Every structure is written in structure tokens, then in C-alpha cells.
Chains A and B, each alone.
Chain A
């Protein structure tokens, strides 16, 4: 637990542990944490971990992640463990689980996909076709999506 003391404990909010080393900034993006206006966020990178070798940890104050956030998170941190903190205590523990069908999480990166017309009203949808390594395709056009592109195209 020494790495947990690198930043102070939070009163209320969420701790995202076991983020793959070096990916905390991507998690910030994928959770749409507005870095200009958000409440305090503590970030620990590249700390030793039994499970992952090295890992990143994120503490987000005054925000409780919901299921939709977890669905997004699963794209880059499928092993992450989540603790919801209320009044300094762990009130809830959650694990991320990558759904097979990702609805309105990210836009398709393919320039000729039907969904590129942003007036089209149906939701953006991605299918997870493989978990290790992660392979995600647009439900409509079938194009494979690079994880970096997905993060870039988060809705």
C-alpha cells in the first residue's frame, strides 16, 4: 500500500486503481474529466504493482463513476479496480467489464462510415470482437478501430 500514500486520501470520490502503467492521462480523457474546471484529481504513475508489474492510480475527488464511465474505462484499463469513497471510507467496490456492444462511447474513425454524417440520428455503436488483444470494430461499417483513435473519438 505504500504507493497509495504518494497522494493524500480523498474524502469523497473515486479511486481508479490498476490502470496499465502510463495510461492515466488516457483515462482522464476517456472519463471526460475537464482538466480546466474539474474538482481535484490526483495522479500516480508507474508505481510498482504485484498484479501488473507497474501501474497508474487515479483519485478523482467529488465524482462517483457510473456504469457508463466504467464501460468507457474498460477500453483502456480492463483490469482496473474501482473504489467509491464516501466520507473517507470505501463505500463500494466495482470492477470494469467490457461490454460486447459499446453504444455512444466513441465515434467511428473511418472517414467513409455512414455514421460520419452527424445528422444521422442512430447511436454510434462499436462491437468488441476480441478481448486479448482488444479488438473493437464499428457495428455499422465493420472497420477495426485503433485504441488511440477510439480515445480520440470519445463522445
Chain B
């Protein structure tokens, strides 16, 4: 099946194959080449929670490949009237060929995948997983380093609620990465994830200090402390703004070190970093288009040609 709910749904070979396809699709993603591989296909964008980049890049990806998009938002629809996710997804099963789903509740993507026939791409479920973000993150890392193998990756910020880092860390250890997890103790990576990472034989270090990690990092992956996931304002205030990266902090960094961020940022990365060679986050946001193109093709069983022109 073409479901991608967690990174476990893809083997390492499949990940590489998707990244290779995505690379070939870059000119199509930029609108330089017309390649209507998905003409006549319909993507349902099922966003039960707000999204900017993920929703729009899915939409662009589908449209650049000649497909059509149904946009769903839970506000003012049958969901507001109390419809179950199961029932909403039954409807979409009849309307679309593939669905991208984002939902505030964890497990919603797996639940949807079990509820319907069409392939489901998890576009973020609560604090759970966000595998399509991981694919574009891996694409960006490979662009910066030429390979995914054996990198020192520093994940920073909200590691407890941050679904992007949950999926990304799972994928990175499969390629032999050493991970340094930088967070306040209240936002530590969940125990079951740390235990999974270590069971893959990965070297995982947990710390509260970012500054000591910069010199040996190949990737520094910053995340926003997500106010909306905190149960109360006081708890948020204690940790808001504790990790900030400015251009001057990067003077001792390796030349190829990539600073990444799933965006939106608040104040984790100062604008002064934007003009350094390390800044990769805007490119990362663009990379969502070719990687989601490749993922949509895979889910719909459409082969990306070896030569795109």
C-alpha cells in the first residue's frame, strides 16, 4: 500500500529512491518543466489543524504534476457538527485518489489509513509523526552533505511535542547518525522514542546546552517551542526563547554545517543567520514541493521517469 504514516512505512532503499525521484522533479517543482504525471488524479488535503507550508506545498506538488486538489478544513464543515473522523474519511474515500491528513489528535493518520482504501500521507498527527516533513528534511540534508550516512545531527528545542523531530530522529538513526538532543528537561524527547533510537544502536546524547554542540555538528535542526501545545501559559513562559542562534554563534561551525528549521520560526534563529552559508531553512521549505511530488507519485503507483525534461 502507498500509506506513509510513520517513517517505518518506508525502507531505507525506498527513502533513497524517493529522494532520487524528488531530485529529478526539481525542475517540475520550479515550474520550468511541464510533466503532468498525475493528470486526472485528485488529492484531498484534509487539514483538521492549521498549516501553511505543508498544505500549500502538497497543493503545489499535485498541481505541478497536473493533478487536482480538494481542500478541506474542519472549520464550518460537518466536523464542527460532531462528525467522526471515520465518517469524514469515508466521504473522502469516494472523492479522491490520495489524501494528506493533518489532525490535532495523535494516531489520526493511522486511524484514517485503516478506515479507507485510498493511500494516506500523514501530514502531522498531534505530537506524533510528520514523515513527509522528514522526507524533505532528509532531502535538504543530502543536498548539504551529499549523503545521509553517519552525520552528527543536533536537534534543538521542543523535542517533546515536536512531531517533526520525532519522525526525523527515527529516520536519521537508520542512516547511522549520531544524535544530540538539546532541550529543557520539560521538553525532553519522549522516553519511548529515545529507547527506540538507542535500540537502533544510535549514539544519543541528551543535554540542555546548545552552545557546546555547534562546533562538531553537521546539522543543527532548530524547532519552535510550540505555544499551542502547552497546557498552560506559565509553563510556556518558563521555556519560551531559551534557544537562540545568531550568526556570531556560528563562527566555530564546520563549513558545511546546515542550519535547518521546519518553520515558522519565532526567535530561535536570528535573521542574521539568513545570509550565512549555513542557512538552509528557506530552501528546505521549497524542498517540500519536489519531495511531496515524489511521495504522491509513489502512493499513486506512478513511476517518475529516469530523465525529466
Question: Which A residues lie at the B interface, using CB under 8 A?
Answer: 108, 110, 112-117, 119-122, 135, 137-144
Contacts and interface: CB of A to CB of B under 8 A. Distances in A.
Given A122-B114, A142-B128, A114 B106 contact: yes
Nearest to B105: A114
B106, B111, B127 — most chain A CB neighbours (10 Å): B106
Given A112-B126, A112-B127, A141-B128, A120 B111 contact: yes
Contact of A110 (B82, B84, B85, B106): B106
Summarize A's interface: helix, strand, loop or mixed.
loop
Interface in B72-86: 82, 84-86
B86 A140 contact: no
26 contacts: A108-B107, A110-B106, A112-B104, A112-B105, A113-B107, A114-B103, A114-B105, A114-B106, A114-B111, A114-B125, A115-B107, A115-B111, A116-B105, A117-B85, A117-B105, A120-B84, A120-B85, A120-B86, A121-B84, A122-B111, A122-B115, A135-B192, A139-B107, A142-B129, A143-B106, A144-B191
Contacts of A119: 82, 84
Contacts of B106: 110, 112-114, 140-143
B84 A140 contact: no
Contacts of A144: 190-192
Interface of B: 6, 82, 84-86, 103-108, 110-111, 114-115, 125-129, 190-192
Contact of B110 (A120, A135, A139, A143): A139
Given A121-B84, A122-B115, A114 B108 contact: yes
Contacts of B126: 112, 141
B127 A140 contact: no
Contacts of B190: 144
A17 to B, nearest CB: 33
A107 to B, nearest CB: 12
A139 B107 CA distance: 8
B192 A137 contact: yes
Which 3 pairs from chain A and chain B are nearest by CB?
Answer: A140-B107, A141-B107, A141-B106
Given A138-B107, A142-B107, A114 B192 contact: no
B80 to A, nearest CB: 14
A101 to B, nearest CB: 12
Query: Which of B6, B104, B114, B128 is the most central at the interface, judged by chain A CB atoms within 10 Å of its CB?
Result: B128
A142 B108 contact: no
B129 to A, nearest CB: 8
A13 to B, nearest CB: 38
Given A142-B129, A143-B192, 13 more contacts: A112-B104, A112-B106, A112-B127, A113-B105, A114-B85, A115-B107, A116-B105, A120-B85, A122-B86, A140-B106, A140-B108, A140-B110, A141-B126
B9 to A, nearest CB: 13
Contacts of B107: 108, 113-115, 138-142
A97 to B, nearest CB: 23
Nearest to A145: B192
Contacts of A116: 105
Contacts of A139: 107, 110
Contacts of B114: 122
Contacts of B104: 112
B84, B103, B105, B115: most-surrounded residue (chain A CB, <10 A): B105
Contacts of A110: 106
A115 B84 CA distance: 11
B167 to A, nearest CB: 11
Contacts of A143: 106, 192
A113 B85 CA distance: 12
Nearest to A138: B107
A96 B126 CA distance: 35
A112 B104 CA distance: 8
